[in-house]
Amino acid sequence: MNEDAIQIRSIQHYLYCPRRFALLEIDRDWQENAFVAKADLLHEHVHDGSHSFSDHRKTVCSAMFVYREDMPYGIYGKTDCVEFLKAKDGVAVPGLTGTYQVRLVEYKPKAPKDASYHETDAIQVFAQKVCADQIWQCDSEAYLYYADTRKRVKLPFDTAYAAYDAKLRQLLEEMRAILESHVIPARKRGQKCSGCSIADLCLPKQKPYCVRERIDAQKGGDAVCELSLIHI
C-alpha cells in the first residue's frame, strides 16, 4: 500500500466528527468508552474464527484483508465477514473450486430507530465493496447485520452505486486534505460529544485551581486563595 492509503474504519471516524478523525490520525489520540468496548467485543466475536466455515453451498471467511490501491481510492481494511456462495454465473475465487457470488456482511451493535440502516455504516461497507470488486473482479452484494435486531439489511449499491461512489471519493479527498495539512479542525460542541470516546481529550474538563495556595504550600506560607481555571 502507498503512504497515502487510508484505513476504511477511519471513514466512519471522519463522518462522526472531522476533529475526532484528525486527533486519531494526526495526534494518535485514543480512549475507550462503553460504546467502543461494546463494538469491539462484537467484532472480536466475529473475528475469532467461529464464523469461518465451509459447506456444500458456501464458504464463509471472517477478518479478510481487502484493499484498493488505485487513486482516488487508496484504501484498505478488514471485512467482518465475506461469504462466497456457489453460483453458476459467479466468479472464480483463488483457493476455491467452482464459481461464486461474493457477499460482504458487516456487523454493527445497534440498528437505527428511524431507518433501515445508518448511512455512515453503509458508506463503510461500500468502501469494502470497491475493494472486493477489484480483488475478485465481481459485483459483490453487501449487507449490514445489526446485533440488537438480529437482522440483515441489504444495502442498495446495485441501484445507488454512482451516488455512493461519488460520496466516498469526496470523503477521501477531504480526509487527505486534513492529513496533508496536519491541522486539527476547530472544536464544535454538539450532541455527539457525549458519546465520543475521546471527548475528554478533545474538550478537557476544567476545575478550580488556587494559584496562591499552591505557591504557599511549596513555601510554607499563608495567603488568600485566588481562583483561576486551568485545563486538566
Per-residue pLDDT tens digits for 77-97: 889 999 999 999 999 998 889
Residue holding cell 441489504? 154
Do residues 226 and 155 share a domain?
no
The count of domains in the chain is 2
- Which tops the pLDDT comparison, 224 or 120? 120
**Please, what is the end-to-end C-alpha distance for the chain in angstroms?**
39
pLDDT tens, position by position, 113-146: 888 999 999 999 999 999 999 999 999 999 999 9
Q: Domain residues for 189?
A: 6-197
194: cell is: 457525549
pLDDT band at 24 (very low <50, low <70, confident <90, very high): confident
Do residues 83 and 35 share a domain?
yes
127: cell is: 468502501
Residue 140 lies in a domain: yes
pLDDT band at 205 (very low <50, low <70, confident <90, very high): low
For residues 155 and 105, give the distance between their C-alpha atoms in angstroms, rounded to a whole number.
Answer: 10
Do residues 139 and 232 share a domain?
no
Identify the CA nearest to 76 among candidates 170, 14, 5, 24.
Answer: 5
pLDDT band at 212 (very low <50, low <70, confident <90, very high): low
Mean pLDDT (whole number) for 55-79: 90
CB within 8 A of 139, min separation 6: which ones?
A: 133, 158
Instruction: Provide the whole-model pTM.
Output: 0.76
DSSP secondary structure code for residue 191 in this structure = G
